[in-house]
Structure 1
């Protein structure tokens, strides 16, 4: 089976709980006629069609038709709804004998005859009554509905016939506090309810205080198609499948599972949609991910870590630390195994929705394709740049490295592309400046070495001149000077020849970005195409200019060669007279050749003296330019640090009383240590320790200390005189490398370990337990991102109290804005976090030949019975512990 087919099949698997827009109090046509309600339709058929059309237009997927103690009147509307693909919750509106209205809802597909019998059990036997009343009071009716397997909603609870209006005093309090009452209906949120009822609805009135607040839904009467879109008529309820149990779980956890009409729709975020395997331990297995909280559960050895490391492998994410690297490589080699194919479907919603397929076959690199299977020139990081994945104990590894903790702040920074670009440009300019200064300094040094001999040569030449030898050899002296002039004339054109070669190498101008294909989908492509002609003309003119320049150089070389040739002829003509003079001098024991050699050496060195002056001037300009660059460099680094500092303050506001973050500029001194170790070498251990222990370090001040000499260094760092001397004698290149360093900021994290009712007690990471450290970091990881977060067994490093008090509330809050994928063998996270998708894993077969299995019935939320039973089995204490945890922690 191809990767595409595997992913198509994966999307058919259960994807867990999602929001359904529900209209839970739709009135049938017969109700409107019977109660003389205004109705614009003369026939039930037309009314039913219009209602369902309005529901489809509003994306309503679930309806409940709730006539007063009647079921037969709803059948026509049921049929049309089912044919249109809507899910129908059978039910009716009941009125207790004390006048309280309830919506009684049953599972889809419940037998109509059964519901009719239950209506009869309420004492209703005459359909001629407009709004009959039950023989049961409110408390009894709630208890009966529970026995029926139905779920009750207290209808229009703050209006006439609503529980909080129809009852008073003790009867109202008793009915409100009934364990069988899980939800009530309002036209808006509790904050909009009448003043006298608002404290009850918000569970703040002591007389009506419940262990768990009554869930609020928007489910007001819908009497026609225009009502469907009105505020308060519908709401969104999260379920795996539409059922009474799905509603019950939603009512038990409304913060996670109910979204009222007044609440904003969460923005879509990047998500992993599906993953599938061919080969290895997970052969033919697949997952259809939920966009919110996904939890992999199962005993040890069932494949949870293999799924996490598969995601790491297909996304090509580097493990954090050596141990994580070894563990990852071992799983790829021994569990996934060579030849295994992993296919991952990803959806990005920004700037528009687009799906990508990422495929990887062990041991090859990953490839990225579009939804149609076309290969793209992209990497997984291009599609998911901000995704975070942590294998077992990697969060603990992160807590041990202050410089790596700083990357946790990245998502809180409003990235300034100009700052990043300017910083990169400055670093390139500084590196270029350093090399130019070194090159010029080296050349000056070489010239200094050669010029060092010039004073001695000039002194010897002077003695020859004083002896009158120069007058006799004047012609030859002139020839020596003339020869140097001719050589210099040739040398003067060389730099320009090199520049010409560089220009020729860049021609013709690259105009591919202006090609017809590149511009064809742009609305003003014809105008932009004119730029192609302009650049083409420039390119042609430049090529013509370079040809002319090349010709000029060639003719110049030829002309200089001609001059040289004619000069050589004159030199040859003078050679005879020169040799005659030398013979005469020889007879007088005077070395005329030595004089000429001296003259030639002096003449050869004279241009170097001029070159030295030029280079000194150039060096001054380079150093001045570098000083300006360094000022800009420090300003850019300071701006970047201010971004980190603002991010830290933002975190401290978001996690007030939980986590506190402090960022230290230039906190990671290791790059400086590396430069000193390589550039200076030898024993510098005290220097390194002094640099690491220094609370604040300014590279500018450090460089000033080095420039000030060994005493200055010793005073700045408090190190031994010998090490201070070696720092002060650092080479020019080493000093410049130090000035260019971009020492990373480090991040210190503190956790408040006090109980919620105590004064804060802040402890730094190095004073915390492994679990507390991981808790602090995970609280940061949960914040401020729309990219998926994947963690393998976080409970291995987490402190249980902080899980329930800190991690779970933050996870529940953030899961609407981003996708989580956690692997766990502890049921706290899926139960308390109300995971939208729980995936139960089991292993089959023997060790090396075994295989993981993920049965479809073990994929879903806790409103699915098989999934709930699986979680209960995994959780110590079984079902009782399952219910106790949800009650104890209020989730």
Structure 2
């Protein structure tokens, strides 16, 4: 048999806690018979199958069968449901002697015989009574169920008849409600829909009934028929790693994380790292089936926690942000993963539809991406799973040292116009192009000016020749120079038409492959699209004809020019013969007639340059006008970009109110300007740069205008030293244009409230905080608003526990339904108070260079599993004895 693929093996591993839809008050057929509610059902088997079918239809995976002080009557439904693959909590609905209805639930493996003995404890020995009443009052039954029976109680229909809040009054109600043995109650809907007089109690706002830990509300109304199971009031979602009483207890302790009512919003799908497997290296043969929410790696030092996170960073091709983080990452890849190790990562995306991709990377080769069919894709991992963030040990603290990286962090929260980045890139390209064109035009104008500067001297020399009478004697030869210019110009006038014709010839005939039957074969609209082919065939024919006609016209013109040139060359020969005769006569008189003709030719060549200069100046004016429009658009785009960041900063500040405040400064990072000045101007500019650093706001447009006006304007408006101002003004004009195109990035100012919970806020800017406080502020930002996974190696590093428990953990719990977290930690607050859905316990044999790591299956789960809970207690709390000693020393 073929060996199972490592990733497939990984997907078979436990992935921790997940939501189960639970109906915890399903009544058996015997209950319906006693109360005349059987409806259309005539026998238990039919009823049981109908209930099971309804559970499947409505994705109910867990039920509790709770007859009134009866167990045997529930066994038929219990066994049928279990055989159908449903999990079943056995139990009963108790009616205490003070009239309170309580659901008593027990582990799925408890037998009917064991539970019947508990009924005897309650004083119920006779099944003949329709609704027996037990010997215990509510307080006594709650204590006994929890402490002696290893069960758990839910206050049934708490706001209705028989419910605890309706039945009990005064101190009896207060004591029962505040009992530590009661953790959950049932309502048909959310608390907001509860009766007004009871709502403050349920919201834990009533002073007399206030509890240190509020009662959890679930939906678990009586289900007496399949139709009842379709009602939102009969079931809710409970998160557990194992269907057990401990799973319920953990859920009731942490409803924010583990309970979802029918009226609560369904979490949207997000990018997930689904599974990972290693072949070779320190983690050879290991695999992980990640949870979609909070995953926490625990283990002693050297057990491979950092290696797992850096493996994910490596396979995704993500670059560490800081030098220290980069060195640590490279060290793990080189020394722990080692050359030849293959890492396989399964990722899942949900937009626009759910898709899985397999990313493989063998050290030291590039990553490969495959689709669900196994086909190799020509894409990078970051294109499949964008925005994944991985931070190694102390990397967050390193991040706080870079204002630019902090702004990039804030950029995650900006609601960006998707058209803005391509517009920005295109605009930057146009500005650069306009600068190049303007610079080239200025050079052309300067070259023309340099040549035209010779014209006055040449004309003066010509005037002296004319005074000597040479103009008249050489008149015809002189005009021949001008005629030659006309003949040459005729050929030049055809050149602008020949180049486009050549280009047109290269593009013809038009390639119609995109309209071939094969290209359109699998398109639903192929019959419509096929009508394009005759359109392009006609265009092809007409363009061919037009090209031929243009070519014929050019050839005709060329022939005409050639005939004219031939006739003119005959005249030229006659004039030159006469000219040679005159030259010989002039030589006898010691006069250089040839120099006169050369002079005339030079002047005739230069005179058209004046018109050429006018044309160049017009072109320059147009380019500069166009550039001013581009610059206005550029400034508007940068302002739009800033406003998006500004709105993001305000939104983040609102979300982290009383913890973190964020402000942004427009064009706050002036370093690109200083770099440009040093590179393109040079010299002593330290004082000028220091001066430009002082204003709170610096406009590059205003700086460029002052620059063009001259040194005086720079000195007056910016207090730049004269020597530096003169050096700037002497720089090439291109430098000023380059300054106008710069993007001075927005800078981010982060403040942290360092006051204790409940005290007046004390805000401190990031630069004035300790390393740990800086890391806290940034970590709170990292936890916010994203649908991409966040991976952090020991996020508690540099943090004190107060910030972890008051700031980080609550925000983590709030966000984990919307995104995936993978953390490694030595701090119990993160997996326990953060209620990690998947805790992974690692252990190692030998050192990372020679040994190996393993993740035992029994250490893959949530806190509701005993092996995992014991491991957390041992590794993170130091064992029960140490925990109890600390508790006693604190006086808790």
Fold-level match, TM-score > 0.5?
A: yes
Residue 176 (structure 1) shift: 2.0
Residue 722 (structure 1) shift: 0.7
1:138 corresponds to 2:144:
no
Out of 623-632 and 507-516, give the one that drifted further: 507-516
Separation of aligned partners in 1, 2:341 and 2:518: 39
Residue 541 (structure 1) shift: 4.1
Separation of aligned partners in 2, 1:691 and 1:888: 59
Separation of aligned partners in 1, 2:475 and 2:437: 42
**Pair 1:781–1:561, CA change in 2 (3 A):** farther
What's the C-alpha RMSD, in Å, of the aligned pairs? 2.5
Residue 177 (structure 1) shift: 2.1
**Pair 1:699–1:851, CA change in 2 (3 A):** same
Residues 726-749 of structure 1 deviation map (CA, whole Å, 9 limit, x = unaligned): 222331211111111122111111
> TM-score by structure 1 length?
0.95
Residues 589-614 of structure 1 deviation map (CA, whole Å, 9 limit, x = unaligned): 10111111111211222222221111
1:100/1:162 contact within 8 Å kept: yes
1:826/1:874 contact within 8 Å kept: no
Separation of aligned partners in 2, 1:192 and 1:282: 52
Residue 498 (structure 1) shift: 3.9
- Alignment of structure 1 residues 329-408 onto 2, 5 Å: 329-408=330-409
Separation of aligned partners in 2, 1:818 and 1:509: 51
Residues 125-158 of structure 1 deviation map (CA, whole Å, 9 limit, x = unaligned): 2221222222222222222222222111121222
Residue 831 (structure 1) shift: 1.2
Separation of aligned partners in 2, 1:886 and 1:438: 77
**Secondary structure of the structure 1 residue equivalent to 2:382:** helix
Q: Report the equivalent of 1:121.
A: 121
Residue 876 (structure 1) shift: 3.5
Unmatched 5+ residue regions in structure 1? none
**Secondary structure of the structure 2 residue equivalent to 1:66:** strand
Separation of aligned partners in 1, 2:889 and 2:809: 13
- Alignment of structure 1 residues 404-423 onto 2, 5 Å: 404-423=405-424
Residue 678 (structure 1) shift: 2.1
1:726 corresponds to 2:692:
no
**Secondary structure of the structure 2 residue equivalent to 1:483:** helix
- Alignment of structure 1 residues 25-104 onto 2, 5 Å: 25-104=25-104
1:235 corresponds to 2:236:
yes
- Alignment of structure 1 residues 837-848 onto 2, 5 Å: 837-848=838-849
Out of 719-728 and 166-175, give the one that drifted further: 166-175
**Secondary structure of the structure 1 residue equivalent to 2:369:** strand
1:280/1:335 contact within 8 Å kept: yes
Residues 571-601 of structure 1 deviation map (CA, whole Å, 9 limit, x = unaligned): 3343332222111111101011111111121
**Secondary structure of the structure 2 residue equivalent to 1:862:** coil
Q: Report the equivalent of 1:473.
A: 474
Residues 6-37 of structure 1 deviation map (CA, whole Å, 9 limit, x = unaligned): 22111111111111000001000011101222
Separation of aligned partners in 1, 2:882 and 2:262: 34
2:280/2:340 contact within 8 Å kept: yes
Out of 558-567 and 862-871, give the one that drifted further: 558-567
**Secondary structure of the structure 2 residue equivalent to 1:796:** coil
Q: Report the equivalent of 1:428.
A: 429
**Pair 1:790–1:550, CA change in 2 (3 A):** farther
Residue 776 (structure 1) shift: 1.2
**Pair 1:726–1:53, CA change in 2 (3 A):** same
- Alignment of structure 1 residues 629-648 onto 2, 5 Å: 629-648=630-649
1:412/1:647 contact within 8 Å kept: yes
1:106/1:151 contact within 8 Å kept: yes
1:157/1:163 contact within 8 Å kept: yes
Residues 462-490 of structure 1 deviation map (CA, whole Å, 9 limit, x = unaligned): 11112111222223212222222233333
Separation of aligned partners in 1, 2:546 and 2:383: 42
Separation of aligned partners in 2, 1:246 and 1:732: 74
**Secondary structure of the structure 1 residue equivalent to 2:208:** helix
Unmatched 5+ residue regions in structure 2? none
1:750 corresponds to 2:766:
no
Residue 799 (structure 1) shift: 3.6
**Pair 1:224–1:119, CA change in 2 (3 A):** same
**Pair 1:32–1:518, CA change in 2 (3 A):** farther
Residue 2 (structure 1) shift: 10
Residue 883 (structure 1) shift: 9.0
Out of 129-138 and 460-469, give the one that drifted further: 129-138
Out of 626-635 and 224-233, give the one that drifted further: 626-635
- Alignment of structure 1 residues 161-176 onto 2, 5 Å: 161-176=162-177
Residue 444 (structure 1) shift: 1.0
Residue 620 (structure 1) shift: 1.1
**Secondary structure of the structure 1 residue equivalent to 2:69:** coil
2:336/2:848 contact within 8 Å kept: no
Residue 437 (structure 1) shift: 0.9
**Pair 1:119–1:389, CA change in 2 (3 A):** same
1:303/1:841 contact within 8 Å kept: yes
Residues 486-537 of structure 1 deviation map (CA, whole Å, 9 limit, x = unaligned): 3333333334444445555666666666565665555434323434543454
1:124/1:133 contact within 8 Å kept: yes
**Secondary structure of the structure 1 residue equivalent to 2:277:** strand
Residues 158-215 of structure 1 deviation map (CA, whole Å, 9 limit, x = unaligned): 2222222333322222222222212111212233222332222222233323221121
Separation of aligned partners in 1, 2:555 and 2:393: 70
Residues 347-373 of structure 1 deviation map (CA, whole Å, 9 limit, x = unaligned): 111111111222222222222221111
2:282/2:848 contact within 8 Å kept: no
**Pair 1:497–1:29, CA change in 2 (3 A):** same
Separation of aligned partners in 2, 1:290 and 1:536: 58
1:707 corresponds to 2:699:
no
Out of 547-556 and 371-380, give the one that drifted further: 547-556
Separation of aligned partners in 2, 1:744 and 1:315: 28
Separation of aligned partners in 2, 1:636 and 1:886: 59
**Secondary structure of the structure 2 residue equivalent to 1:67:** strand
Q: Report the equivalent of 1:817.
A: 818
Q: Report the equivalent of 1:688.
A: 689
Separation of aligned partners in 2, 1:611 and 1:603: 14
Out of 631-640 and 222-231, give the one that drifted further: 631-640
Aligned residues: 889
**Pair 1:395–1:558, CA change in 2 (3 A):** farther
1:19/1:238 contact within 8 Å kept: yes
Residues 617-653 of structure 1 deviation map (CA, whole Å, 9 limit, x = unaligned): 1111111111122112211221221111121222222
**Secondary structure of the structure 2 residue equivalent to 1:281:** coil
Out of 329-338 and 609-618, give the one that drifted further: 329-338
Separation of aligned partners in 1, 2:802 and 2:813: 16
Q: Report the equivalent of 1:574.
A: 575
**Pair 1:298–1:733, CA change in 2 (3 A):** same
**Pair 1:720–1:428, CA change in 2 (3 A):** same
Separation of aligned partners in 1, 2:252 and 2:219: 12
Separation of aligned partners in 2, 1:797 and 1:606: 78
Q: Report the equivalent of 2:699.
A: 698
Out of 193-202 and 616-625, give the one that drifted further: 193-202
2:273/2:346 contact within 8 Å kept: yes
**Pair 1:551–1:884, CA change in 2 (3 A):** farther
Separation of aligned partners in 2, 1:249 and 1:885: 23
Separation of aligned partners in 2, 1:445 and 1:738: 23
Out of 327-336 and 495-504, give the one that drifted further: 495-504
